[in-house]
Structure 1
Amino acid sequence: MANLKQGDLIEISRWIIKHWALYVGDGYVIHLTLASEDANAVSIIEKVVGEDKAKVKREKLEDVVGQDKYCINNHLDKQYEPRPIEDILQDANSRLGEKHRYNLLRNNCEHFVTLLRYGVPQSRQVQ
């Protein structure tokens, strides 16, 4: 996708759920992913009610997307002003390797990237 800009939110369609990542430039994204994730949406859905371990990773966009469809979706830009790009990137990079408790309803990948871009953790797919 040629029009990607640093700080853009990337929405990746995976079966009935969405995975979210933050574009950081040069073909890379930073995202919160299940430590045990095998790109199988069914295994993720099984964890809806429970919590699992997650890790912040920097990976090539093409590797994260695989065969799935994706788009730029800065969906909260009308509600919140995005933070300065320098702040977004610095915050995102400083979190690399962090381990989190992943919970689809309270602490998921969309919460993570909206916190980075807007300073507010939100998840439309949960609401």
Structure 2
Amino acid sequence: PSQGNPRPRPGDLIEIFRIGYEHWAICVEGDRVVHLAPPSEEFVAGSITSIFSNRAVVKCSRLEDVLHGCSWKVNNKLDGTYLPLPVDKILQRTRNMINKIVQYSLIDGNCEHFVNELRYGVPRSQQV
């Protein structure tokens, strides 16, 4: 893992520090993570259009492929506020979402809401 981070465990939320915003993913096993990928990212990685697209595809990727060289950390920051669901339930919910297309908006359906919904059953974002 980069920067001496602890290895993410299944169900952990991973905060990725992209330029200008944070991207979030959830660890499913080993180096595989599930995250929201705006469809435009397929064509123009990291371009500004990816922020304005209103749909996203739920993808399972290698953490390295999601990082694009950015730094990251495990950040289960809402554990003090909400009880995380049991790990097997988090993973089951997460796997059920792979390859689905979801509504995406920076305000009320962003990648942070998505992972919080999976881990805690509560869609919350502190980014907005």
Scaled by the length of structure 2, the TM-score of the pair is 0.89
Is structure 2 residue 79 aligned with structure 1 residue 73? Answer: no
Consecutive unaligned residues of structure 1, counting only runs of 5 or more, are none
Matched letter for residue 63 of structure 1? D
Is structure 2 residue 98 aligned with structure 1 residue 92? Answer: no
In structure 2, the residue matched to 1:43 is 49
- Percent of residue pairs bearing the same amino acid type: 43
Shift of 1:39: 3.1
Structure with greater proportional helix content: 2
Paired residues of 2:16 and 2:24 also in contact (CA < 8 A): yes
Paired residues of 2:40 and 2:49 also in contact (CA < 8 A): no
Instruction: For residues 87-119 of structure 1, give each alpha carbon's deviation from its aligned partner in whole angstroms, at most 9, with x where no partner exists.
Output: 000000011111112100010110000000000
Aligned structure 1 segments of 4 or more residues deviating by more than 6 angstroms: none
Secondary structure (helix, strand or coil) at the match of 1:77 reads helix
Paired residues of 1:14 and 1:41 also in contact (CA < 8 A): no
Matched letter for residue 44 of structure 1? S
Matched letter for residue 78 of structure 1? G
Alignment partners' CA distance in 1, 2:126 and 2:37 = 18
The counterpart of 2:12, out of the listed 8, 12, 20, is 8
Matched letter for residue 35 of structure 1? P
Consecutive unaligned residues of structure 2, counting only runs of 5 or more, are none
Shift of 1:42: 2.6
Please tell me the root mean square deviation across aligned C-alpha atoms, in Å: 1.3
Equivalences for residues 27-38 of structure 1 within 5 A? 27-37=31-41, 38=44
Secondary structure (helix, strand or coil) at the match of 1:31 reads strand
Secondary structure (helix, strand or coil) at the match of 2:60 reads strand
Q: Which moved more, 1:30-39 or 1:71-80?
A: 30-39
Is structure 2 residue 67 aligned with structure 1 residue 61? Answer: no
Instruction: For residues 62-88 of structure 1, give each alpha carbon's deviation from its aligned partner in whole angstroms, at most 9, with x where no partner exists.
Output: 000121111111010000011000000
Secondary structure (helix, strand or coil) at the match of 2:125 reads coil
Secondary structure (helix, strand or coil) at the match of 2:14 reads strand
